[in-house]
């Protein structure tokens, strides 16, 4: 009996330790990754300094006079992310709202499996699709800059719509049914009950969905590498090209000499993205806390 | 057991990396060689000349294809590392300037080309008053590309390329864009040219096999394959088999099949 008990204890303890190790490994990886990126970007941050953020000229391979300005790249990233958010957040909300409020069982099944399928499409396929089928449409209407921030934003919208819609639908569904039923019993229409009562109650979840979407969009690489046009300028219009930070990292990391200033400044690009993502997550946390207590 | 098989197949695989321009040549050679030696396993990757040299340095490639000579930084790294890479000239290539077939231009000068790529000429009418008053959409390969290196060195000199240049990751993408966009211009390896686009004369010289081999065409250059000879010349083995075949009559025939100019046997 005594032996049986200890072996059970042992089993339990081993399992606990294993689960703990695996659970913490995620955090360890995050810490390692962050310290790695910081360490590699230090040479550029100390040697190049403010030029990284104030200059818009990205000429890292210029042999006589290299320049490492990331302003245009950063602005490109932000423009495309902003534009995509403008498209995908309302669209995602409408899809989620329809699924929550109006769709019958068959429609839910149909739309849900459509969303699932769409979320499985690799970003490189979406990039190629935008390039081959959508960008020639610009030429037909007399816009001779067929790879541009609008094209990239449309591609990113297709890519992130399933994600946004599912997150928002989850947020709506997590609201207690009694709220909606109460609103309906008081005579409000389906739309008012959903839009004014349930959405307000689900606001923290929806904002969380928004932030997760933005986070995902700003880090996306393949679509912007293929469709954004690849010119490192600050875009002045929707049909101007751009070269976002992620595209630069993907395009140049493979050729760069390890330890060079170019190499280090690519890590600064990664650090910028990391800081943005970290900041967004922090904001999401604060919002959720505030709405929970308020 | 599985590990052993994995190791064996790994050690038997020869890796070739580098220039997109040299890629079609290497591809044809590999096809022919694998028929000749069924045991030979070769992987080929085209990601730009710099990528190939970088892979030779860190040992992830046995042969680096480049469409340019070594950069100074690479030569000094070689000295620092104590390594010694040797080049084989495998072919000659011209960088062809391509525009859409509808654009009414047949010849361009190096000066006009420089004006376009440094951003001085923003509209086609500024290049030639007979051309339409439309924006010039100019494409360039990314900085890892040897074609980019050669082009910027020979055309731009010390001047910088205008940041509005569209950097794309592959030559196919440039071809695709120019064939569709009536106001686009791009530069590609001569071997990639097809009849969907128009090739411009440069300073009145048409890029042909002859004008490229004699370098009468300004944008011509040799194509290289680099081999690590730090521990002596590779007298035996897969690398040697590959190079010997490439420089043979058949190998040079395949160079022409790929659309380039054979370096030997003329």
Confidence band for A3, pLDDT divided at 50, 70 and 90: low
Kindly list the residues from chain A whose CB atom is less than 8 angstroms away from the CB atom of residue B160: 57, 59, 62
What is residue B8's predicted lDDT score, i.e. its pLDDT? 45
List all residues of chain A from 62 to 121 with a beta carbon under 8 Å from chain B: 62-64, 72
Q: Does residue B185 register a pLDDT over 90?
A: yes
On whether any CB of chain A is under 8 Å from the CB of B256, the answer is no
Q: Which among B29, B87, B85 is positioned nearest to B58, based on CA atoms?
A: B85
Q: What are B117's two structure tokens? A: 């790529």
Strand partners, B226: B64, B87
What is residue B265's predicted lDDT score, i.e. its pLDDT? 78
Work out the average pLDDT over B182-210. Answer: 93
List all residues of chain B from 10 to 29 with a beta carbon under 8 Å from chain A: none
**What is the spatial distance between Cα A152 and Cα A240, in angstroms, rounded to a whole number?**
11
What is residue A294's predicted lDDT score, i.e. its pLDDT? 47
What is residue A290's predicted lDDT score, i.e. its pLDDT? 78
Q: Does residue B5 register a pLDDT over 50?
A: no
Work out the average pLDDT over A158-182. Answer: 92
On whether any CB of chain B is under 8 Å from the CB of A136, the answer is yes
Confidence band for A1, pLDDT divided at 50, 70 and 90: very low
What ipTM describes this predicted complex? 0.84
Q: Does residue A78 register a pLDDT over 90?
A: yes
Kindly list the residues from chain B whose CB atom is less than 8 angstroms away from the CB atom of residue A223: none
What is residue B9's predicted lDDT score, i.e. its pLDDT? 44
Task: Give the model confidence (pLDDT) of B53-84 as tens digits.
Answer: 999 998 999 999 998 999 988 999 999 999 99
**What is the spatial distance between Cα A235 and Cα A246, in angstroms, rounded to a whole number?**
16
Percent of chain A scored above 70 by pLDDT?
97
Kindly list the residues from chain A whose CB atom is less than 8 angstroms away from the CB atom of residue B181: 139, 144, 146
Work out the average pLDDT over B28-46. Answer: 90
How many other CB atoms sit within 10 Å of the CB of residue B46? 22
Kindly list the residues from chain A whose CB atom is less than 8 angstroms away from the CB atom of residue B47: 254-255
Q: What are A220's two structure tokens? A: 């996306």
Q: Does residue B132 register a pLDDT over 70?
A: yes
Q: At what angle do helices A2-47 and A261-293 cross, to 10 degrees?
A: 120
Nearest Cα residue in chain A from B53 = A255
Nearest Cα residue in chain A from B182 = A144
B151 CA: distance to closest CA in chain A (Å): 14
Instruction: State the best of B166, B169, B170, B185 to mutate against chain A, taking most chain A CBs within 10 Å.
Output: B166
Q: Does residue B7 register a pLDDT over 80?
A: no
A290 CA: distance to closest CA in chain B (Å): 45
Q: Does residue A110 register a pLDDT over 90?
A: yes
**What is the spatial distance between Cα B36 and Cα A198, in angstroms, rounded to a whole number?**
71
Task: Give the model confidence (pLDDT) of A177-233 as tens digits.
Answer: 898 889 999 998 888 888 888 998 898 899 989 999 999 999 999 999 999 999 999
Q: How far is CA B94 from the centre of its chain?
A: 9
Q: Does residue B115 register a pLDDT over 60?
A: yes
What is residue B12's predicted lDDT score, i.e. its pLDDT? 62
A93 CA: distance to closest CA in chain B (Å): 35
Confidence band for B43, pLDDT divided at 50, 70 and 90: very high
Work out the average pLDDT over A232-253. Answer: 94
Torsion-angle region of residue B11: left (phi > 0), alpha (psi -120 to 50) or beta?
alpha
Long-range (24+ apart) CB contacts under 8 A made by B28-36 are B28/B254, B28/B257, B28/B258, B29/B242, B29/B245, B29/B246, B29/B251, B29/B254, B32/B245, B32/B250, B32/B251, B32/B254, B33/B241, B33/B242, B33/B245, B36/B245
On whether any CB of chain A is under 8 Å from the CB of B67, the answer is no
Where are the extended beta strands (E) located within B13-132? 13-18, 41-46, 63-66, 85-99, 107-108
Task: Give the model confidence (pLDDT) of B208-244 as tens digits.
Answer: 988 998 899 999 999 999 999 999 888 888 899 999 9
B208 CA: distance to closest CA in chain A (Å): 31
Report CB contact under 8 Å: A231, B183.
Answer: no
What is residue B2's predicted lDDT score, i.e. its pLDDT? 44
Kindly list the residues from chain B whose CB atom is less than 8 angstroms away from the CB atom of residue A226: 169
How many other CB atoms sit within 10 Å of the CB of residue A288? 16
Q: Which of A136, A231, A251 sits opposite B166 (nearest CB)?
A: A231
| Run of H or E residues at A248 | helix A245-252
Kindly list the residues from chain B whose CB atom is less than 8 angstroms away from the CB atom of residue A241: 164, 166
| Run of H or E residues at B45 | strand B41-46
Q: Does residue A4 register a pLDDT over 80?
A: no
**What is the spatial distance between Cα B25 and Cα B222, in angstroms, rounded to a whole number?**
13
Task: Give the model confidence (pLDDT) of B156-169 as tens digits.
Answer: 998 999 999 999 98
Confidence band for A153, pLDDT divided at 50, 70 and 90: very high
What is residue A49's predicted lDDT score, i.e. its pLDDT? 87
Please measure the distance between the N-terminal and C-terminal CA atoms of chain A and give it in whole angstroms. Answer: 54
Strand partners, A118: none
On whether any CB of chain A is under 8 Å from the CB of B77, the answer is yes
Q: Does residue B102 register a pLDDT over 60?
A: yes
Q: Which residue has the tokens 């370098």?
A: B215
Q: Which among A179, A156, A171, A177 is positioned nearest to A242, based on CA atoms?
A: A156
Report CB contact under 8 Å: A229, B166.
Answer: yes
What is residue B160's predicted lDDT score, i.e. its pLDDT? 92
Kindly list the residues from chain A whose CB atom is less than 8 angstroms away from the CB atom of residue B173: 131
Burial of B179 (0-12, 13-18, 19+ CB in 10 A): middle
Mean pLDDT of chain A, nearest integer: 91
Work out the average pLDDT over A48-66. Answer: 89
Kindly list the residues from chain A whose CB atom is less than 8 angstroms away from the CB atom of residue B164: 231, 233, 241
Q: Please count the residue pairs, one from chain A and one from chain B, whose beta carbons lie less than 8 angstroms apart.
A: 78
> Higher-confidence residue: A80 or B41?
A80
A46 CA: distance to closest CA in chain B (Å): 22
Check the CA dihedral B179-B184-B186-B190 and report its sign. Answer: positive
Q: At what angle do helices B23-36 and B238-247 cross, to 10 degrees?
A: 110
On whether any CB of chain A is under 8 Å from the CB of B112, the answer is no
């Amino acid at each position: 009996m005594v032996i049986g008990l200890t072996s059970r204890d042992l089993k339990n303890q081993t399992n606990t330790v294993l689960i703990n190790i695996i659970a913490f490994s995620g955090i360890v990886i995050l810490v390692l990754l962050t310290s790695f990126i910081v360490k590699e970007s230090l040479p550029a941050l100390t040697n190049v300094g403010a030029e990284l953020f104030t200059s818009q000229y990205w000429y890292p391979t210029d042999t006589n006079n290299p320049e490492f300005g990331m302003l245009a790249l950063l602005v490109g990233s932000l423009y495309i992310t902003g534009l995509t958010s403008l498209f995908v957040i309302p669209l995602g909300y409408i899809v989620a709202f329809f699924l929550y409020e109006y769709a019958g069982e068959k429609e839910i099944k149909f739309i849900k499996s459509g969303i699932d399928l769409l979320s499985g499409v690799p970003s490189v396929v979406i990039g190629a699709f935008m390039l081959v089928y959508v960008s020639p449409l610009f030429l037909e209407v007399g816009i001779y800059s067929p790879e541009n921030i609008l094209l990239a934003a449309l591609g990113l919208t297709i890519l992130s719509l399933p994600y946004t819609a599912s997150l928002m639908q989850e947020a709506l569904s997590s609201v207690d049914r009694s709220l909606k039923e109460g609103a309906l019993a008081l005579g409000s229409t389906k739309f008012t009950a959903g839009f004014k009562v349930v959405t307000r109650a689900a606001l923290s979840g929806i904002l969380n969905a928004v932030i997760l979407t933005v986070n995902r969009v700003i880090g996306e690489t393949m679509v912007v590498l293929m469709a954004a046009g690849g010119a490192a300028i600050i875009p002045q219009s929707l049909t101007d090209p751009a070269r976002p930070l992620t595209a630069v990292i993907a395009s140049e990391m493979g050729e760069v000499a390890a330890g060079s200033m170019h190499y280090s400044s690519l890590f600064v690009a990664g650090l910028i993205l990391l800081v943005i993502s970290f900041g967004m997550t922090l904001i999401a946390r604060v919002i959720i806390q505030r709405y929970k207590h308020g | 057991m599985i590990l052993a098989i994995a190791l064996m197949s790994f050690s038997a695989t020869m890796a070739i990396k580098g220039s997109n321009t040299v890629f079609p040549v290497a591809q044809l050679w590999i096809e022919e060689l694998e028929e000749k030696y069924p045991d030979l396993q070769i992987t080929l990757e085209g990601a730009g000349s710099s990528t190939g040299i970088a892979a030779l340095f860190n040992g992830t490639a046995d042969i680096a294809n480049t469409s340019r000579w070594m950069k100074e930084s690479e030569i000094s790294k070689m000295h620092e590392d104590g390594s010694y890479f040797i080049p084989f000239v495998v072919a000659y290539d011209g960088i062809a300037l391509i525009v859409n077939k509808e654009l009414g231009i047949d010849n361009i000068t190096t000066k006009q080309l420089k004006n376009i790529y440094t951003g001085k000429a923003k509209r086609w009418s500024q290049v030639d008053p007979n051309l339409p008053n439309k924006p010039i959409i100019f494409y360039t390969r990314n900085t890892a590309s040897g074609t980019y290196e050669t082009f910027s060195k020979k055309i731009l000199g010390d001047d910088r390329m205008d940041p509005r240049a569209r950097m794309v990751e592959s030559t196919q993408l440039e071809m695709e864009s120019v064939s569709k966009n009536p106001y686009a211009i791009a530069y590609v390896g001569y071997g990639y040219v097809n009849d969907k686009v128009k090739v411009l004369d440069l300073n009145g010289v048409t890029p042909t096999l002859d004008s490229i081999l004699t370098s009468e065409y300004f944008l011509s250059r040799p194509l290289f394959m680099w081999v690590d000879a730090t521990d002596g010349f590779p007298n035996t083995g897969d690398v040697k088999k590959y190079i010997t075949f490439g420089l043979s009559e058949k190998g040079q025939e395949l160079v022409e099949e790929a659309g380039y100019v054979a370096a030997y046997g003329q």
